[in-house]
Amino acid sequence: MREDSVIYCGIDWAEKTHDVALVDDTGRLLAKRHITDDATGYRLLLDLLTEHGDTEENPIPVAIETSRGLLVAVLRTGKRKVFAINPMAAARYRDRHAVSRKKSDPGDALVLANILRTDMHAHRPLPCDSDLGRAIAVLARAQQDALWNRQTIANQLRSLLREYYPSVLDAVASWANGLCRPEARELLKTAPTPAQAARLTRPQLQAALKRAGRKRGIAAEAERLREVFRAEWAHQPPLVEDALGKQMLALLLQLEAACTAADQLAEAVEEAFPRHPDAEVLLSFPGLGIQLAARILAEIGDDHTRFADARGLKAYAGASPVTRASGRKKSITRRWVKNDRLNHAGYLWAFAALRHSPGADAHYRRRREHGDWHAAAQRNLFNRMIGQLYYCLQHRKLFDETTAFPNELAVAA
């Protein structure tokens, strides 16, 4: 091996074992190894890299098909560049080496190493986010997943209640968050069937509301609930109704757990996010609270060199359109390949900004007047605001309404 040769490493990741391949800049296979997914295997991998010239100042770059896990955490120590290659992209590269499309784990490790050898400039290494930023990402994504899980279970519970218990759906219709509210869950535990709900007295209803944490208007709310439950409703046969009540209680346990998880994770985010240096800039933007700002930080990270310019961040978020041209044909469409979590957070952000920013509201209305549908106008607003966020994070500046929307404010005035 030449002293000035560059070494590249590819790792085919699996659940229990991993295949490692090292190649030089000519494509020659230097070493291959099969390691286990434990501390012993990680030590063998680091020793193999050291044996082929890996140093703290000049580490060997690594390509792997995942961005998470203990193996990636071990590799990301120091200045090493770790490239998370999309499995679909790796499959396309595999066709360059085997026209029969055969697949093997050692072969895939060699393909990943050759991807870095030939096209490292076309792939982006994992960002150098801080430990606090990565911790916030874990909490924010978990809280978002908990909310989605809670809504899924609430939808299942609602569908079941429609089959035999429509009175309780009518009773909670005026409450924010509906079945996810503590009062609704306490009522369902107290009376799993409409027959039991119709027999509830005023003191029992008031006690249920108090157990759920309600402080005001208990007597009036209990009277309203009593009238709803005692109104005339269609009923299932008693045996069927009791069976459905037992099924409902099983779903209610899942909903209780999902609500508790979402609340606890939200508290964890509220505790961790304000400590981040970028929190002040993010919270200065209209429509961004702690939870939503934490989700955005979780997806863009705190490595300010991750995106070369605002266009890269807009494309990553799915806010900027895609232009396709072939001959005389040209089409401009929305992006389908994007960070879905960031795109979802951006939709909520743009929607909330309409109420807190006169300039954002004017920009949205102008887009609607020019023929955009609601979603397209919101996407355009998100595209503009995330570009402003990129600038503010790069220059450590807070959001300024007059700078962000000078034309819209002038027209509105």
**Residue 129, in any domain of the structure:** no
Cβ(37)–Cβ(15) below 8 Å: yes
Total count of domains within the chain: 3
Whole-prediction pTM: 0.85
Has residue 398 been placed in a domain?
yes
> What integer best gives the mean pLDDT of the chain?
90
- On whether both 99 and 210 belong to a single domain, the answer is no
Per-residue pLDDT band at 407 (split at 50, 70, 90): confident
Query: Can you give the pLDDT at residue 254?
Result: 96
At 117 the three-state DSSP class reads: helix
Give yes or no: residues 98 and 152 share one domain: no
pLDDT in tens, 169-205: 999 998 888 899 999 999 999 999 999 999 999 999 9
- Residues 405-410, mean pLDDT to the nearest whole number: 75
Amino acid, res. 319: A
Residues 154 and 261 in one domain: yes
| CA–CA gap between residue 295 and residue 344 (Å, rounded) | 10
- pLDDT at position 107: 83
Domain boundary among 101, 122, 143: 122
For residue 362, pLDDT over 60 is answered with: yes
Question: Does residue 105 sit within a domain?
Answer: yes
Tell whether 127 is covered by a domain: no
Do 256 and 286 reside in the same domain of the chain? no
Query: Is 153 found in the same domain as 86?
Result: no
b/e map 205-236, b = 16+ CB within 10 Å = bbbbbeebebeeeeeebbeebbebbeeebebb
197 with 286, same domain: the answer is no
Q: The domain spanning residue 54 has which CATH number?
A: 3.30.420.40
pLDDT at 122: 86
Query: How many other C-beta atoms can be found within 10 angstroms of the C-beta atom of residue 103?
Result: 12
pLDDT, tens digit, 9 for 90 and up, residues 117-145: 998 888 889 888 899 999 999 999 999 99
Tens of pLDDT, residues 290-311: 999 999 999 999 999 889 899 9
Choose between 106 and 402: higher pLDDT: 402
Q: Could you tell me the residue range of the domain that residue 76 belongs to? A: 8-122
Question: Is 186 in the same domain as 67?
Answer: no
pLDDT recorded at residue 322: 80
The predicted model gives 6-30 an average pLDDT of 90
Angle of CA points 98, 104, 107, to nearest 5° = 60
Would residue 128 count as lying in a domain? no
Per-residue pLDDT band at 342 (split at 50, 70, 90): very high
- Band (93; pLDDT cuts 50, 70, 90): confident
Percent of the chain with pLDDT over 70: 96
The answer to whether 147 and 295 have CB atoms below 8 angstroms apart is no
What are the C-alpha distances in Å from 205 to residues 26, 161, 225?
Answer: 78, 19, 8
- Residues 226-241: tens digit of each pLDDT: 999 999 998 899 999 9
Instruction: Answer whether residue 1 is part of any domain.
Output: no
Mean pLDDT of 204-223: 92
- Same domain for 186 and 263, yes or no, is yes
Of 260, 253, 257, 182, the C-alpha closest to 172 is 182
> Are 67 and 149 in a shared domain?
no
Give me the percent of the chain exceeding a pLDDT of 90.
Answer: 64
**Residue 189: inside a domain:** yes
Task: Give the pairing type, strands 29-36 and 17-23.
Answer: antiparallel
Q: Looking at the structure, do residues 117 and 160 belong to the same domain, yes or no?
A: no
Domain ends where: 96, 122, 148?
122
